[in-house]
Amino acid sequence: MSLLKTPTLPNDSRPGDNSIAAFDVERVREDFPILKREVYGRPLVYLDNGASAQKPRQVIDAMTRVMEESYSNVHRGVHRLSQEATDLFEGARERVAAFVNAGSPDEIIFTRGATEAINMLAACFASQVQPGDEIIISEMEHHSNIVPWQFLRDRSGIVLKAVPIDDDGNFDMDAYRGLLSPRTKLVAVTHISNALGSITPLKQIIQEAHAAGAQVMVDGCQALPHMRVDVRELDADYYAFSSHKMYGPTGIGALYGKKDLLNRLPPYQGGGDMIATVTLEKSTFKAAPHRFEAGTPAIIEAVGFGAAVDYLNSIGMNAIAAHEEGLLAYATRKLEAIEGLQIIGKAKEKAGIISFVLEGAHAHDIGTIVDRSGVALRAGHHCAQPVMDRFGLSATARVSFGLYNTPAEVDVLAEALQTVRDFFG
Amino acid sequence: MLDELRELYQEVILDHGKNPRNLRRIGDANHHAQGNNPMCGDTLSVYLLTNGQNLIEDVSFIGKGCAISMASASMMTEILKGKTVEEAETLFHGFHDLCTKDDADLSEAEATDADAVERLQVLSGVRTFPVRVKCATLAWHTMDAALKGDAEISTE
């Protein structure tokens, strides 16, 4: 075992390029111990991947291994273990950087998750705005990509505007163009809506923002586990994501940022590891990413994050995307055949997420009833209340697919929804 | 599997859920509060009209939610009409215990209105569904807040 080897991906094996020819879902399921368990005596059908995804043995083992063999604090010790832990930690950063095709590992800041990544950017971005400047979000953002900008608005006197979506859940490009102006400093937009599955026309959004002189931050939480993302090809200025939705552990995520932009931002939190020098009067700070990583980081979680990225690469993002596309198509047909069921969100470009309502049955009641068939789905507003408001709903039921889901599981879901109809139909 | 679900979704609940009673706003209400369940985004407003003798002359609610929360609100309005504020509080505590404790002492609530406690038993199925307890108790918490003069409460 070569724990000290710094893992880097060769340039010619970017995510998605090494897809296995045939995606063997039963083989993949073997990697996830939890999929063997039962719920109320039924096999678990886990369809809540948009909230958090299950963990493969490879991630669990990598985290166990670092604790059993190499654990120590990072960037501090002169001893062997500290070197090993530091190499593993920074190795994880390199893997994550390669996964999104960042220009350098220095462009990956580890955070507690995507929420902290966006909050960090919003806090630091205060230095970049004047009262009257504008930030544009969209109507289908997760609360994590709304509230931090409201905080910034309330502190900095900026104006926050939201791009509407149409009845199918498509990002309204024309309205977006109407909102862009020389006052726009930042566009903060999701890559894939967690509530609707809509994939935003990101490349175009970014091009037009740049043409207007604005920067763009992307909430990539729902995209990275499901499709190949290349931040440089997109030309995103910032891209936030979290490990736990990518089959990695909780408690860690990242903010990608272009190096020169990151180094223009002031530090976020002060404390150990972000400083260059400290006197009682004055301190100086390191460059990104360390400038934004005060305190002892989530070392074990970072190792798990790196292992999750390796795992996704080993299967291939193109294979995963194709598998989930198949599931989406199958489930859409199957669910639409259920009387009284209406799918909310039918964007032209859509990921493996289906939000729906069932006549006469509230989402919560749906969730409780299908749970008894072993089906885990999400019921509620999905931390995207403005989306619910847009469709005049307080809640939907949502299934979100992961790489281990199968058409047979969709059948179990459909059958469980018939039970709901038996109660409420 | 179905037995427990049938216990939770008894006919009475499905009926109240589909046809909630007193689903309206009381124009001259002197107590009002809004209850929020942040987990699901449900909001529910409770209106009460009490007279000088602390008697609840009218009680109603407005809101949208799951079958459990609607049935609970609907039944609550039926039960509380004509009760005193003190009796409403006693029934609230009894109902809360009913939804959360296996060995709830309901003697005080039963002394207030034994028939009401018996009717409310249909909601006690939530005890086996802990995440649904908030759905069942939201209306009652909101009523309690309205009587105490709190404008807004949350079940978190």
Query: Closest approach of chain B CAs to the CA of A245, in angstroms?
Result: 20
Per-residue pLDDT, averaged over A82-109, amounts to: 98
Per-residue pLDDT, averaged over A350-355, amounts to: 98
Q: Where are the domains of chain B?
A: 1-154
Three-state DSSP at A350 gives strand
Per-residue pLDDT, averaged over A165-172, amounts to: 98
- Which residues make Cβ contacts (< 8 Å) with residue A420, sequence separation at least 6? A358, A361, A365, A366, A369, A370
Q: pLDDT tens across A229-285, in order?
A: 999 999 999 999 999 999 999 999 999 999 999 999 999 999 988 999 999 999 999
B2/A372 Cβ within 8 A:
yes
Q: pLDDT tens across B111-149, in order?
A: 999 999 999 999 999 999 999 999 999 999 999 999 998
Q: What is the pLDDT of residue A20?
A: 45
A-proximal residues of B, 87-116, CB under 8 Å? none
In whole numbers, what is the pLDDT of chain A averaged over residues?
Answer: 94
Residue A383 catalytic?
Answer: yes
Nearest to B80 by CA among B30, B24, B140, B34: B140
Q: List the single residue in B2, B4, B66 with the smallest CB-CB distance to A365.
A: B66
Catalytic residue among A224, A317, A361, A383: A383
Per-residue pLDDT, averaged over A291-309, amounts to: 97
Q: pLDDT tens across A127-151, in order?
A: 999 999 999 999 999 999 999 999 9
The CATH homologous superfamily of the domain defined by A25-51+316-424: Aspartate Aminotransferase, domain 1 (3.90.1150.10)
Per-residue pLDDT, averaged over A415-420, amounts to: 96
Chain A residues whose C-beta sits inside 8 Å of any chain B C-beta: 40-42, 360-365, 368-369, 372-373, 379-381, 385, 388, 394-395, 419, 423-424
Helix ranges (H only) for A108-217 are 114-125, 147-156, 173-179, 202-211
Q: Which CATH number fits domain B1-154: 3.20.20.70, 3.90.1010.10, 3.30.70.260, 3.90.870.30?
A: 3.90.1010.10
Q: In A, which residues are within 8 Å of B2 by CB distance?
A: 372, 419
CB B155 within 8 A of CB A394: no
Q: pLDDT tens across B34-93, in order?
A: 999 888 778 899 999 999 999 999 999 999 899 999 999 999 999 999 999 999 999 999
Torsion of CA A85, A88, A94, A99, to 10 degrees: -140
Per-residue pLDDT, averaged over A105-115, amounts to: 98
Model-level ipTM above the cut of 0.90: no
Checking phi first, is residue A14 left (phi over 0); if not, alpha (psi -120 to 50) or beta? Answer: beta
Q: List the single residue in B5, B18, B40 with the smallest CB-CB distance to A395.
A: B40
Q: In A, which residues are within 8 Å of B42 by CB distance?
A: 394-395
Cα separation of A411 and A102, whole Å?
A: 40
pLDDT at residue A15 tops 60:
no
B65/A41 Cβ within 8 A:
no
Q: In A, which residues are within 8 Å of B64 by CB distance?
A: 394
Query: Closest approach of chain A CAs to the CA of B46, in angstroms?
Result: 18
Per-residue pLDDT, averaged over A38-53, amounts to: 97
B10 contact A CB<8A: no
Q: pLDDT tens across A53-72, in order?
A: 999 999 999 999 999 999 99
The 10 Å CB-count burial string (b at 16+, else e) for A85-112 is: bbbbbbbbbbbbbbbbbbeebbbbbbbb
pLDDT at residue A12 tops 80:
no
The model carries a pTM of 0.92
Q: What is the pLDDT of residue B156?
A: 60
Instruction: Name the band, by pLDDT with cuts 50, 70 and 90, for residue B150.
Output: confident
Q: In B, which residues are within 8 Å of A418 by CB distance?
A: none
Structure tokens at A299: 């070392």
* A60-314 carries CATH number 3.40.50.10420: no
Q: pLDDT tens across A174-211, in order?
A: 999 999 999 999 999 999 999 999 999 999 999 999 99
B40/A381 Cβ within 8 A:
yes
B41/A394 Cβ within 8 A:
yes
Q: Where are the domains of chain A?
A: 25-51+316-424, 60-314
Helices (H) and strands (E) counted in chain B, each on its own, are: 6, 4
B125 contact A CB<8A: no
Strand intervals (E) in A270-348 = 275-278, 283-285, 341-344
B3 contact A CB<8A: no
Mutation target to probe the A interface, by most A beta carbons within 10 A, among B10, B19, B40, B137 is B40
Strand intervals (E) in A139-203 = 159-163, 184-190
In whole numbers, what is the pLDDT of chain B averaged over residues?
Answer: 93
Q: Which of A15-19, A160-164, A321-325, B25-29 has the lowest mean pLDDT?
A: A15-19
Structure tokens at A399: 């299934």
What percentage of residues in chain A have a pLDDT greater than 70?
95
